[in-house]
Amino acid sequence: MTSARKIKPLVAGNWKMNGVKAALGEAHKVREALAGGSTRPSAVDVMLCPPATLISPLAQGAAGGSLLIGGQDCHVKASGAHTGDISAEMLADAGASAVIVGHSERRMDHGEMDRDVRAKAEAAHRAGLTAIICVGETAGERAIGLTLTVIGRQLAGSVPKGATAANTVIAYEPVWAIGTGLTPTAADVAEVHQFMRQTLGKQLGETAGTMRLLYGGSVKASNAKELMAVANVDGALVGGASLKADDFCGILAAYVD
Ligand code: PGA
């Protein structure tokens, strides 16, 4: 099954606001698993997105290995008077190769709108980072049949014109599935991912055919295989289950034949 994939999957762990230096030990275990070949690193790209404070030490520890490092958010500007903010250029300088933008927690906690997310994705591209752009409907929106309308609107508003399969990853994360243990059915995921592929095709052209479309929301070792087998699902964005190396490596095992 994995060998039939035309797009190399990406499994990215989002630590959110969790982890102090002691957590680097978990990243180290993931790195060891990749180096040991037990997770077939050639079959999947693996990324951890720790809090900004840990990017630099994590990147130093991961140097020379296959573990990728990402940030969780960035400012739209490269530098300036924006106390407390971090630019995409700074993330790149610290050793990140990607940044998550438009996570629903950012959209909710910080009132980020699609246009803000698009500007952040553009900032990521400017800095040479891959933008991992998150979209997803709320439970209320799904209940009244608005899922595809919402996803279509978020893709139209959040994905910049310059997005390509090389510089952009889209993560479908139903808001109601994040951190709840709930997941959509495989059929529901298939419907949204096919819709995203088509919509991005209209928006961006041919490059959308090989753009990675991740599923995120309560992914764990026990459901990873089923979710990753869904058509047009090219990997996972993992929150809670990325904090412990054993759990995270259990998800990576879904890519081992
Ligand atoms: P979860 O979070 O895996 O803990 O549900 C996913 C995410 O927010 O990316």
Domain boundaries of the chain, sorted by first residue: 14-59+67-255
Q: Is the CB of 219 under 6 A from ligand 1?
A: yes
Residue 246 CA to ligand 1 center (angstroms) comes to: 16
Assess whether pLDDT exceeds 50 at residue 90.
yes
Q: Is the CB of 216 under 6 A from ligand 1?
A: yes
Q: Which residue has the tokens 């752009």?
A: 133
pTM: 0.96
pLDDT bracket for residue 255 (50, 70, 90): confident
* Residue nearest to ligand 1 atom 2, measured at CA: 239
Spatial contact of 255 and 9, defined as CB atoms under 8 Å apart: yes
Q: Is the CB of 9 under 6 A from ligand 1?
A: no
Q: Which residue has the tokens 């790149």?
A: 92
Residue 232 CA to ligand 1 center (angstroms) comes to: 19
Spatial contact of 9 and 234, defined as CB atoms under 8 Å apart: yes
Residue 71 CA to ligand 1 center (angstroms) comes to: 15
Assess whether pLDDT exceeds 50 at residue 2.
no
Assess whether pLDDT exceeds 70 at residue 1.
no
Match domain 14-59+67-255 to its CATH number in 3.40.50.300, 3.40.50.2300, 3.20.20.70, 3.30.1490.190.
3.20.20.70
Number of helical (H) and strand (E) elements in the chain, helices listed first = 10, 8
Assess whether pLDDT exceeds 90 at residue 257.
no
pLDDT bracket for residue 240 (50, 70, 90): very high
Helix, strand, coil shares of the chain, percent, nearest 5, are 50, 15, 35
**For residue 220, which atom of ligand 1 is closest to its CA?**
3
Q: Is the CB of 14 under 6 A from ligand 1?
A: yes
Tens of pLDDT, residue by residue over 154-202, are 999 999 999 999 999 999 999 999 999 999 999 999 999 999 999 999 9
Mean pLDDT of the chain: 95
What is the C-alpha to C-alpha distance for residues 232 and 184, in angstroms, rounded to an integer? 15
- 86: helix, strand or coil: coil
User: Which one of 169, 172, 237 would you pick to mutate in the ligand 1 pocket, going by the greatest count of ligand atoms within 8 A of its CB?
Assistant: 237
Active centre residues (catalytic)? 103, 173
Tens of pLDDT, residue by residue over 117-143, are 999 999 999 999 999 999 999 999 999
Q: Is the CB of 178 under 6 A from ligand 1?
A: yes
**For residue 240, which atom of ligand 1 is closest to its CA?**
4
Question: Taking the alpha carbons of 243, 244, 247, 248 in that order, is the dihedral positive or negative?
Answer: positive
